Structure 1
Amino acid sequence: MSLLLNTADRLRKNAQAFPDQAAILEAVPRKRTSEGQLVFNETSFRELDDESEQLAFGFRELGVQPGDKLTLMVPYSARMLKLTFGIVKSGATVVLVDPGMGRTNILNCLEQVNPEGFIGIPIVQVARMLNRRRFCNARFNVTVGKRWFWSGPTYDSVLKRGRESSLKPYATNATDPAAIIFTSGSTGPPKGVLYEHGMFDAQIGMLQEHFQIKPGGIDLAAFPLFGLFNTGLGGTTVIPEMDPTRPADVDPALMVKTIEQLGVTQAFGSPAFWNRVGRYCEEHHLQFPTLRCALSAGAPVPVHVLKRVMKFFTQPEDDIFTPYGATESLPICSIGGREVLNETAQKTSRGAGTCVGKPLDRVQLKIIRLTDEPIANMDEIEELPTGEIGEIIVQAPTTTKEYFHHPEGTKQAKIKEGDIVWHRMGDTGYLDEQGRVWFCGRKAHRVLTESGTLYTIPSESILAEHPQVYRCALVGIGKPGEQVPVLIAEPEEGKFPQSLEGQQQLLRELQEIAAAHELTRSIKHFLLHESLPVDTRHNVKIFREKLVPWAASQLKRS
């Protein structure tokens, strides 16, 4: 028998324990007090729990049934959090897509899901109606905001229905579907990851245990998913004045003002977010006495970013942590900035890869022999010894079991062990003598040359040591096994050489660095790029697939 459990249970408990504590502080864009202070709209835990409960009843009064899929397309806001909890409380499955993945990808992903309804802002409803043949199953369509030329329920009318409802709360099981969240699509088409209620609950529990997060903290959450996590952890979620789909363009002065004014104790942002904020703070010699913990994920955090962030802190135990994981299984490992700077950074600069720390409690992790073929069960794997690079596979209470309506993707990414499902991360890496995991890049990005295999992260880290270089991307031109490695460097902001002579000088220096290291000695082709293409979710995962044709055309010209 499955355990009765709902993703929103932790919210309910927090609302009972500290009803009047602020659950959400949402910045009001461009609004300031007469003293120049930022203005925030506050939602207490009681209000968040009550309103999400009323939304849940309202959805059910509309006819939404348990298991129905409702696509939520509302900007990161208090309303977005209320609607998420309202949908999962109703027993429906919330479908979340990244608005930055592009119109074509969004439409393809949603057509694959075939949702029973769209909960979205007016422009979303316009797009739905223009594509009604693709979404003929969508009958529960709620407009969040002003309804234009169409009929149907609005956020306020659903809320009103819920307040007047005599329904009782719906009970879900731990194994019931809670959400479908799409991958970023950085190494292929985005796939819908099916989450159960128990998986979300386990994520919150593991984060709480590992980072010793206590209720009452004030968390600047620059990414929506961590806003949801923090609500379950009993902290106040600060929704800052920024576009969460463009963290690399965040206004650092505004983030500093937010942290100082609210006394933020914890903050999550992508490496691109911390790079921008860190540079600003370093230039202005700023520290944050209240900030105890910073978190960053989405891609390896460059050492120069860690160094800048470490200067924020005023207490010896304060740190920035870089959890490692994926949409399909999160969290897996974590390491602190102090450990990186004191113990692993020098090895990274010499081509050892990026250390992502030890697996968290309740996480099993293995390094297996690399293969691009499906693996049906664990009897077929070959586990590798310490120090040997292979493919990373994981199993934990948070590990998802399948992709939604994507059997081929599930076949490629999942390994059965009885009733347990392991996830193939699609990453390469190895274990060191201390049991720490070293990340060496995506499996799909390894460069297969006639003389052997080059892994992206070790090679790129060596070249990124050049003081003028911000980041690098290694790509392979040609057929696997005969690929020609090309190293593409993006100079630091404002340091791209403007003259041809300056560009050639930088390229010569990169060639000299590569020639001095055994790992990179075989790389003979180097290019400069003003701004490497990156993912829209975190603005840090480099789209190497897009760079391959560009690099090939550049080599032909030369």
Structure 2
Amino acid sequence: MSGNIADRLRESAVAWPERAAVIDQRENRRTFAELDREVDQLVAGLQSLGLTPGRRIVLMVRPGIEFIALTFALFRAGAIVILIDPGMGRTNIFRCLEEVEPEGFVAIPVVQLIRWWKRREKVFRSARLNVTVGMRIPGFGPTYGDILKLGGVHPPKPVSVAGSDPAAVIFTSGSTGPPKGVAYEHGMFGAQVELIQRQYGIEPGEVDLPGFPLFGLFNAAMGVTTVVPDMNPTRPAQVDPVKILRAIERHGVTQAFGSPAFWNRVGRYCDEHRITLPTIRRALSAGGPVPNHVLERMARVLNGPNADLFTPYGATESLPAASIGGREVLSSTAARTRKGAGTCVGRPFPEIEIRIIRITDGPVAALDVAEACGPGEIGEIIVRGRSVTREYFRRPEATAVAKIADPRSFPGDDRPSVWHRIGDVGYIDGEGLLWFCGRKAHIVHTRLGSMYSVCCEAIFETHPHVYRAALVGIGDVSDEAPVIVIEPEAGKFPETPAAVAAFRDELLRLGAGSPLTSCIREVMFHRSLPVDTRHNVKIQREALKEWAAAVSGRR
């Protein structure tokens, strides 16, 4: 197994010392050699404060040079980096902190103020190693600059780290339940880098603009320059396209990652202003299904040779799993999606195994007791590979439900491997393509059978005035009444009873034309469907279900 993931930054610094590693929003930059030296100074400074391997350190820093340098410094020092999405809300953040019992905070001033104010609460009592990144607060301990100065006195102490050692705890978005801490090992990060670089042919010297901060960490391990976008990473649906396009042109960006909401906004702007992006070789989008209208716009915008928008599929616990390009979707699978076949997410990454098993809610102790589904049969999607995580942090019950034991091991690791139950349902067709049909938790159970969200919603999304649709069930859990909730395109919301009735009739006629949706009798309109805080694309159907029940009077 590979060792410390931070070793890959050192390799980049040796191979390309003068190449820019990070360029932030203010045009500050670090070469790979400078970034590597800065990481070493941070390691030495943190060690002088008492940081030892295995310490759980919460990192809450805005995207930029400091975020990347600190992440690699904590990795290099053998600490366990705790990453919590600030957009998940106060209640969820405190719940996550209670689970990990942090031993320190490397964070922006407002986080340190909250920690100090609540220092007597159990969740903060063990936090002894604290560093402020930003404005100095008297009495709150050292700043980022102080750590660098401390580290300039003595070299860092070498730390031995194996690929199986813990590297980070990354919390899920909590879009279908409370956020869970996913335990990452160093070797898992290394496997992710190798899979992504090989799949997409990413070459050292390329320039990436990551709309999701964590993806910027892969770049330093691949010899790729990171251009930090001027955006709020927790609000990709509100990104300013002008700022994104300016950065792409200024730095000759060859790759960019964003959620479907990010590319929807950028693509619409480019389409309206007839702008193309000739330097970009590949765009990447994940976090939820990418609508066909987004793929169609981006096919016009990405006009470089062989340029495409790729949609890697996976989960926080198992990324990456499968991938497909937008041009293949539009030419081969989009028509089937519009008829309710689900969303095609492509073929497995090299070395990744994907299987479909019979849907069940309880734990599955071993692979040989899981019932396999045949080609084209919808079931639960499970994934196995070196990048697939083994457990949730301090969540044995959740781990037992989400993981399936497999006696086979991977080269260099004598432990039995595990399969991850993604929580999605789908099928593999006769050509080996994986199709996503929705979350298992979002299946609507009617007396006529199960209805799968993504399949049913696509029928209604063919209407030109529908931006997106959401299927929810209300009433008895074993005999739900299916309701389709519609978010119209901008300017198309029906404002009068007559307009509501006419729009509803058109949609019901659409639904009646498919056996998947012919039983739907109720249509509701919503101005803006509630979505997740991380990617602004996963519809929060639990909240929407409550809303629909209240509107219908069937709570």
Interval of TM-score (by shorter of Structure 1 and Structure 2)? over 0.9
Q: Root-mean-square deviation (CA), in Å?
A: 1.2
CA contact (8 A) 2:277 2:304 kept: no
Q: 1:490 maps to what in 2? A: 487
Residue of structure 2 aligned with 1:83, choices 60, 70, 85? 70
8 Å CA contact retained: 1:61, 1:165: no
After TM superposition, what 4+ stretches of structure 1 lie above 6 angstroms from structure 2?
none
Deviations 1:214-234 (A, max 9, x none): 000111111101111112111
Q: State the SS of the aligned residue for 1:135.
A: helix
Q: After superposition, give the CA deviation of every residue in 1:221-279 in whole Å (9 maximum; x if it has no partner).
A: 11101111112111111101111110100111221122122211111111000000000
Deviations 1:531-554 (A, max 9, x none): 000011100000000011100011
Match of 2:8 in 1: 10
Change in CA separation of 1:439 and 1:4 when aligned onto 2, cut-off 3 Å: closer
| Deviation, structure 1 residue 56 | 1.2
Partners in 2 of 1:280 and 1:25 — Cα distance?
25
% identical equivalent positions? 54
Any gaps of 5 or more consecutive residues in structure 1?
29-39
Residue 546 of structure 1: aligned partner: 543
Change (3 A) 1:550 1:4: closer
Q: Which amino acid aligns with 2:63?
A: Y
- Corresponding residue number in structure 2 for 1:21: 19
Residue 472 of structure 1 pairs with residue 469 of structure 2: yes
Pair 1:272-2:272 in alignment = no
Residue equivalent to 1:107: 94
Of residues 208, 214, 221, the one that matches 2:197 is 208
Residues of 1 paired with 2:51 and 2:543: CA distance?
A: 41
Matches within 5 A, 1:405-424: 405-418=394-407, 419-424=416-421
| CA contact 1:26–1:239 (8 Å) conserved in 2 | yes
Aligned length: 545
Deviates more, 1:512-521 or 1:129-138: 129-138
Contact 2:474 2:554 in 1 (8 A): no
Distance, in Å, in 1 between the alignment partners of 2:240 and 2:106 is 30
Among 179, 192, 199, the residue aligned to 2:188: 199
Partners of 2:44 and 2:181 in 1: CA distance: 27
Which of 214, 217, 220 in structure 1 is aligned with 2:206? 217
What TM-score does the superposition give when structure 1 sets the normalisation length? 0.96
Secondary structure of 1:107 counterpart? helix
Aligned counterparts of 2:394 and 2:487: Cα–Cα separation in 1 = 38
Give the SS at the match of 2:468: strand
Q: Is the 8 A contact 1:65 1:91 kept in 2?
A: yes
What are the superposed Cα offsets for residues 481-528 of structure 1, whole Å, 9 maximum, x if unpaired?
A: 211111001011232122232222111111110011100001111100
Distance in 1, Cα, partners of 2:177 & 2:542: 9
* Greater shift in the superposed pair: 464-473 or 150-159: 150-159
Secondary structure of the equivalent of 1:160?
Answer: helix
Structure 1 CA distance for aligned equivalents of residues 311 and 359 of structure 2: 25
What does residue 33 of structure 1 align with? none
Equivalent runs, 1:49-88 vs 2, <5 Å: 49-88=36-75
How far, CA to CA, are the matches of 2:247 and 2:131 in structure 1?
Answer: 33
Note the C-alpha offset of 1:478: 2.1
2:235 is aligned to: 246
Matching of residue 42 in structure 1 with residue 29 in structure 2: yes
Deviates more, 1:235-244 or 1:498-507: 498-507
The one-letter code of the counterpart of 1:191 is: K
Does the CA-based 8 Å contact 1:6-1:174 persist in structure 2?
Answer: yes
In the alignment, does 2:217 pair up with 1:228? yes
Which residue is 1:356 aligned to? Answer: 345
- Contact between 2:346 and 2:434, CA under 8 Å: does it hold in 1? yes
- Whether 1:125 and 2:123 are equivalent positions in the alignment is no
Verify: 1:526 aligned to 2:513, yes or no: no
State whether residues 486 and 527 of structure 1, in contact with CA within 8 Å, keep that contact through their aligned partners in structure 2. yes
Query: Could you tell me whether the CA contact under 8 Å between 2:324 and 2:346 is conserved in 1?
Result: yes
Give yes or no for the alignment of 1:458 onto 2:479.
no
Answer whether contact 2:354 2:382 (CA < 8 A) is retained: yes
Aligned to 1:317: 306
Query: CA offset at residue 479 of structure 1?
Result: 2.7
Partner in structure 1 of residue 507 of structure 2? 510
Question: Would the aligned equivalents of 2:112 and 2:140 in 1 still touch at CA under 8 Å?
Answer: no
Choose 321-330 or 417-426, whichever is displaced more: 417-426
Match of 1:147 among 107, 123, 136: 136
SS of 1:490 mapped into structure 2: strand
* Structure 1: distance between partners of 2:271 and 2:199: 29
Structure 1: which amino acid aligns with 2:400?
Answer: K
Letter in 2 for 1:442: R
Alpha-carbon distance between aligned partners in 2 of 1:256 and 1:162, rounded to the nearest angstrom: 38
State the AA in 1 paired with 2:477. P
Query: TM-score, normalised to structure 2's length?
Result: 0.97
